[in-house]
Structure 1
Amino acid sequence: MSSVLPKAARRGLADEAADLVRAAILSGHFPPGSALREVDLAQRLDVSRGSVREGLVQLEREGLVRGGWHRNTTVIEVTAEDVQEVYALRAALDRLAATTARRAATPEHLAELDRLVDGMATEAAGAADARRLVALDLAFHDQIYAAAGNGRLVAAWQAIRSQLHLFQLRRVESGYDHYRARVVGEHRELAALLRSGDRRTLARRAEEHVDSARRSLLADLPA
């Protein structure tokens, strides 16, 4: 018996709308708490309100915006409660990703980690672009998850990545010198431990790396 398979879904305007709005949020164009109005966004992006609506639903699933029935969609605020929850989850995920990548990483994965740390060092040594430094930081962790080779683990990371990106930008905004002083050394140590460190030390340092970020961010937020 033959059956007709549905055609593969193509990337559409809703995905593009989500990408563009996400980029605008992470660039600071829409700061935390900003209202995102469908009509305005549809006009500015030159797409339908339906595409914008679907794109905002995607960003809501990522935890980057909040909406509700008869309520404006807004960019999430950076609250202590959200930070505690997201970084607790990240600590567990990063520990598993690092210890899994230690076994599964290829020389190409490890070389890419070194390249990203070198990029951080170049940025941090000069008149660094804080947003560029945060982007390299997240790209480093993207690579660890890719090296782990676990699709479900990558999906769990992607589910919180946008929130983490926003939180890290808030952290840098409130304490850039502290972040710049630590970011290269901490990531270079993780890259070295992925090559030759013992599993327990790697797991501990992966969690401590996340906890350092959490504490730094919370220090500047109201309780």
Structure 2
Amino acid sequence: MSTFDIMELRKADRRGLADTAADLIREAILGGVFPPGSPLREVELAASLDVSRGSVREGLAVLEREGLVRSAWHRGTKVIDLTARDAEEVYSVRAALEGLAGRGAIGRVDLDVLGGLVDGMARRLAAGAPSDELLALDIEFHDAIYRAAGNRRLLEAWHAVRSQVHLFQLTRIRLGHHDYRAVVVDEHREIVRLLDAGDAAEVTRFAEEHVHSAKRVLLAQLDGSTRDTSG
């Protein structure tokens, strides 16, 4: 039996079992049931989800394509680790994508929708809602920008790292949610303002810095966490 309580996973329905298994395992990973680096055992997952091992195997393959899990011959499948190198790679790629998406979304994105999402963040922040609720709106905000950019390959590239970004941002929140809560509303409101102004250079600059600042915070947190455990 796994160290982690996989009985917390919701049961799969009978439609598209591989995709459903992927969705439920992803949900469990992002929900903290399977922390970074933890093993994912097909037999246990299949029993917990009430699906075949084949469906679980296909679902894990979906998550591996998303970069959320890694498989190795004779070593099984694990949730990705969150190392400083991983953070550098994921956030550097995301920064480049955000710049492209921001430029492409100028004049295309529905600013009222984006503004509504930021207002939702502000309301939840004022109400003391958990940071993961703010992050859900944060991801939805960026989803809207990528869709509006009208570049199918750019959208596919975002989807290829989206789950990893979500996991890394959840780790950032877990290690120090106060920093995230302090900037989340103002930074996203500034993105809306810049998109409205339509200055492509400024949109690109701020979109990239928005990601790089998050990367710097996470790297400092990971470094501090490593020192704490080693000391």
Report if TM-score (shorter chain) is over 0.5: yes
- The partner residue of 1:42 within 10, 28, 46 is 46
Residue 126 of structure 1 and its aligned partner are, at CA, apart by 2.0
- Cα distance in 1, alignment partners of residues 34 and 120 from structure 2: 27
1:140-167 CA-to-partner distances (Å, cap 9, x unmatched) read: 0000001111111100000000000000
Which residue number corresponds to residue 156 of structure 1?
157
Which residue number corresponds to residue 67 of structure 1?
71
Q: Which amino acid aligns with 2:151?
A: N
Which residue number corresponds to residue 86 of structure 1?
90
Which residue number corresponds to residue 23 of structure 1?
27
Q: Which runs of 5+ in 2 are unaligned?
A: 1-14, 227-231
- Cα distance in 1, alignment partners of residues 175 and 24 from structure 2: 26
- Cα distance in 1, alignment partners of residues 203 and 162 from structure 2: 21
- Cα distance in 1, alignment partners of residues 111 and 39 from structure 2: 41
Which residue number corresponds to residue 127 of structure 2?
126
Aligned-residue Cα RMSD (Å) equals 1.1
1:152-205 CA-to-partner distances (Å, cap 9, x unmatched) read: 110000000000000000001111111101000000000111111411111111
Q: Which runs of 5+ in 1 are unaligned?
A: 1-10
Greater than 2 Å deviation, 4+ residue runs = none
Which residue number corresponds to residue 212 of structure 1?
213
- Cα distance in 2, alignment partners of residues 29 and 119 from structure 1: 27
1:77 and 2:78 matched: no
- Cα distance in 1, alignment partners of residues 49 and 24 from structure 2: 8
TM-score, with length taken from structure 1: 0.91
- Cα distance in 1, alignment partners of residues 57 and 69 from structure 2: 12
Residue 133 of structure 1 and its aligned partner are, at CA, apart by 0.9
TM-score, with length taken from structure 2: 0.88
**How many percent of aligned residue pairs carry the same amino acid?**
61
SS of residue in 1 equivalent to 2:37: coil
- Cα distance in 2, alignment partners of residues 79 and 22 from structure 1: 20
Residue 220 of structure 1 and its aligned partner are, at CA, apart by 1.0
Kindly report which structure 2 residues correspond to 1:57-206, keeping only aligned pairs within 5 A, or say none. 57-105=61-109, 109-206=110-207
Which residue number corresponds to residue 7 of structure 2?
none
1:90-111 CA-to-partner distances (Å, cap 9, x unmatched) read: 1110000001101322xxx211
Compare 128-137 and 206-215 and name the one that shifted more: 128-137
1:40-67 CA-to-partner distances (Å, cap 9, x unmatched) read: 0000101000000010011011110111
Residue 85 of structure 1 and its aligned partner are, at CA, apart by 0.5
SS of residue in 2 equivalent to 1:67: strand
Which residue number corresponds to residue 4 of structure 2?
none
- Cα distance in 2, alignment partners of residues 192 and 171 from structure 1: 26
